[in-house]
Homo-oligomer: A and B are copies of this chain.
Amino acid sequence: MTAGTATTHHALDWVNGTAPRLQERVRRIPPLAFVENCLRGVGQVMFMNNPLTGLFVLLAAWTFDPWIGFGGTVGVVVSTLVALLMGFDRGAIHAGLYGFNGVLCGLALATFLAPPWDGVATVWIVAVSAGSSIAMAALAALFGGAWGVPPFTLAFNISVLLFLITALHAVRGRVGELIVPTPPAVTGPTVSEALRESATSAAGTDLAAVVNAVLRGISQLFFVNSILGGILILVGILFCSRIAFGFALVGSAVGMGVGMALGADGTAIYNGLWGFNSFDACLAIAGVFYVLTWRSALLGIACAAYTALLFGAIASFLGPWGLPAMTLPFCFGVLTFVMLKDASPRLFTFVPPGEIETPEAHLRRARTVSA
């Protein structure tokens, strides 16, 4: 935050943007501050440094499936605690940067391990979330040192994929029915494009199917598969940034569109699997990492499309082991477009990771500079 913005004290600063007044107040009460930092960590999956965003995301997870909500909550708490114990950078921990991988680890393992509320599965959630904070610190040094960019959710992806692929051959692996190793084959000609909730359900009306695909495309980022979940998460984003809210919807729609253009499996599209990586990538490029202009809006849309292709590719690559693509497509998609920061300096204004606030704040700063 710049000195200039710190002097303005609106009542909205309790809930709006990065909610600076809320952070100031709870900082004096350690247990509250810890909870607040964890909630920011949940929001940071979408670059929303706001505890209310995180609260609405957790609400979406708990209402969709309490076991998944529990997994995510354990994940963010454990990963933030480990970061504190390891003495990692306090500023980063306060901004939630050691929580976003952990919450995703918990949500993912609660989704892919079985049965729910299992003690052993909970041990794995704790262990993998803890490991994700170590991986995050290492990857942040790797990416920051060489290229000045963050490692996004790579620590989550690596940690969970390492665990799941090991678990295939372990007695106590607790691998659930969603993990189905399948040998590669050319299945394109036999794929059913019809948008529908499951293979056995009837294809819905076009508009309803599209609404499902777009909103589930939001919720699937957190392993939640429901329209209500998508709406709750969007409301959470709204607290932090109206710009991000808009590009979340646009990005999810673009991801869906790429899947439909290619003729991908309609059930996967309906359930939001082509949308969740794209929406996060879209809002990251259009406003967060580049100051919003009509050019960076187009760049965000291009990044959403590129990320959708990456989803198709990585899901297909991991198919033989039965592993899901997780948010690897988002990581590589955003990394590619963020690395353009020095290639087109006249067209796009890059926001260095250390100066990221909200898309709205970036716009204000850019106008102040150019005025």
Binding site for B on A (CB under 8 A): 86-89, 131, 134-135, 137-142, 145-147, 161-163, 165-173, 175, 179, 181, 183-189, 191, 193, 261-265, 302, 306, 309-310, 312-313, 316-317, 320-322, 335-337, 339-344, 346-347
CA–CA, A167 to B139, complex, Å? 31
Indicate which residue in B88, B139, B166, B343 contacts A89 across the interface (CB closer than 8 Å).
B343
CA–CA, A171 to B184, complex, Å? 16
A336 touching B135 in the complex, CB below 8 Å, given contacts A145-B146, A165-B313: yes
Q: How far is the CB of A197 from chain B (nearest CB, A)?
A: 19
Residue of B nearest to A138 (CB): B339
CA–CA, A46 to B295, complex, Å? 34
For the complex formed by this chain, how many copies does it contain in all?
3
Task: Tell me which residues across on chain B come within 8 A of A316, comparing CB atoms.
Answer: 165-166, 168-169, 321
Task: Tell me which residues across on chain B come within 8 A of A131, comparing CB atoms.
Answer: 306, 309
CB-based contact A263/B322 at 8 Å: no
CA–CA, A145 to B335, complex, Å? 14
A302 touching B184 in the complex, CB below 8 Å, given contacts A169-B316, A191-B171, A344-B86: no
Task: Tell me which residues across on chain B come within 8 A of A336, comparing CB atoms.
Answer: 134-135, 138
CA–CA, A347 to B85, complex, Å? 10
CB-based contact B346/A306 at 8 Å: no
Task: Tell me which residues across on chain B come within 8 A of A165, comparing CB atoms.
Answer: 312-313, 316-317
CB-based contact B321/A166 at 8 Å: no
Task: Tell me which residues across on chain B come within 8 A of A141, comparing CB atoms.
Answer: 147, 339-343
CA–CA, A306 to B135, complex, Å? 10
CB-based contact A137/B169 at 8 Å: no
24 A–B contacts, CB within 8 A, in A order: A86-B347, A134-B340, A138-B335, A138-B339, A139-B339, A140-B343, A145-B146, A145-B342, A162-B309, A168-B187, A169-B187, A169-B191, A169-B312, A170-B188, A170-B191, A171-B193, A171-B262, A172-B188, A172-B262, A175-B186, A184-B320, A184-B321, A184-B322, A320-B320
A-B pairs with lowest CB-CB distance, top 9: A171-B263, A166-B312, A138-B339, A137-B343, A170-B262, A172-B263, A162-B313, A181-B184, A146-B146
Q: How far is the CB of A36 from chain B (nearest CB, A)?
A: 23
Task: Tell me which residues across on chain B come within 8 A of A313, comparing CB atoms.
Answer: 161-163, 165-166
CA–CA, A175 to B141, complex, Å? 40
A185 touching B189 in the complex, CB below 8 Å, given contacts A134-B337, A166-B312: no
CA–CA, A189 to B172, complex, Å? 8
CA–CA, A142 to B337, complex, Å? 12
Task: Tell me which residues across on chain B come within 8 A of A137, comparing CB atoms.
Answer: 339-340, 343-344
Task: Tell me which residues across on chain B come within 8 A of A317, comparing CB atoms.
Answer: 165, 321
Q: How far is the CB of A140 from chain B (nearest CB, A)?
A: 7
CA–CA, A165 to B189, complex, Å? 14
Q: How far is the CB of A64 from chain B (nearest CB, A)?
A: 25
Task: Name the residue in A163, A183, A316 with the highest tally of chain B Cβ atoms < 10 Å from its Cβ.
Answer: A316
A309 touching B169 in the complex, CB below 8 Å, given contacts A146-B147, A321-B184: no
Residue of B nearest to A262 (CB): B170
CB-based contact B183/A183 at 8 Å: yes
CA–CA, A344 to B136, complex, Å? 13
CB-based contact A264/B169 at 8 Å: yes
Task: Tell me which residues across on chain B come within 8 A of A193, comparing CB atoms.
Answer: 171
CA–CA, A139 to B161, complex, Å? 25
CB-based contact A175/B147 at 8 Å: no
Task: Tell me which residues across on chain B come within 8 A of A188, comparing CB atoms.
Answer: 167-173, 175
